[in-house]
């Protein structure tokens, strides 16, 4: 008996990857990220960050960077779903959070650890809040 296989998602072309990078760079501006935070969130060094910022359409968007961009965009989407005002959509990442996962830290404190796992965990927490299951 044959089993049905799931269709594999098509890889993003360079145009889509660059669009995601541009969107995240704009988002990081709205979040008022420092250069150090941007480097940690994107997992890059200073010179690479400067190249991304000055020439995002010629950047090499690796699979690691694409994963980071995806989490950051999903975090932003979760915040847009949770909040109706720009102050919270863009300011929430800087607010101290006293829910058990954050223990008084802000989402930015967690995310700027620089690991993909940190981005995943913040996204997971926001997604559970969106579903009414904080914790």
Does residue 94 form part of some domain? yes
- Inside any domain, residue 23: yes
How far apart are the C-alpha atoms of 58 and 113, rounded to whole Å? 27
pLDDT digits over 107-126, tens only? Answer: 999 999 999 999 999 999 99
pLDDT at 135 over 50: no
* Cβ atoms within 10 Å, residue 135: 8
E strand or H helix that includes residue 19: helix 14-30
Q: Is residue 5 part of a domain?
A: no
**135 within domain boundaries:** no
Q: Of the candidates 94, 106, 118, 100, which has an alpha carbon nearest to the alpha carbon of residue 43?
A: 118
Residue 4 lies in a domain: no
On the 0-12 / 13-18 / 19+ scale of CB atoms within 10 A, 52 is buried
Task: Show the tokens assigned to 89.
Answer: 């959509």
| Residue 70 within any structural domain of the chain | yes
pLDDT value of position 54: 95
Q: What is the pLDDT of residue 129?
A: 80
* Domain membership flag for residue 56: yes
Q: Give the pLDDT confidence score for residue 11 in this predicted structure.
A: 64
- Rounded distance between C-alpha atoms, residue 50 and residue 81, angstroms: 31
pLDDT, tens digit, 9 for 90 and up, residues 43-84: 999 999 999 999 999 888 999 999 999 999 999 999 999 998
Whole domain around residue 33: which residue ranges? 14-130
- Per the structure, the count of domains in the chain is 1
Residue 116 lies in a domain: yes
What secondary structure letter does DSSP report for 101? T
DSSP 87: H
Question: What is the rounded distance in angstroms from the CA atom of residue 42 to the CA atom of residue 51?
Answer: 13
**Is 14's pLDDT higher than 70?**
yes
pLDDT tens-digit series, residues 80-102: 999 989 999 999 999 999 888 89
């Amino acid at each position: 008996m044959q089993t049905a296989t799931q269709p594999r998602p098509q890889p993003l072309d360079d145009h889509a990857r660059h669009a995601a990078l541009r969107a995240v760079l704009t988002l990081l501006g709205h979040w008022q990220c420092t250069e150090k935070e941007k480097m940690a969130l994107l997992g890059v060094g200073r010179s690479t960050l400067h190249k991304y910022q000055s020439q995002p359409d010629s950047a090499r968007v690796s699979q690691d960077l694409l994963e980071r961009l995806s989490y950051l965009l999903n975090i932003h989407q979760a915040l847009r779903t949770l909040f109706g005002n720009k102050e919270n959509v863009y300011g929430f990442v800087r607010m101290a959070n006293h829910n058990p996962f954050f223990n008084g830290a802000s989402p930015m404190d967690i995310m700027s650890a620089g690991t993909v796992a940190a981005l995943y965990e913040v996204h997971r927490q926001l997604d559970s809040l969106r579903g009414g299951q904080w914790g």
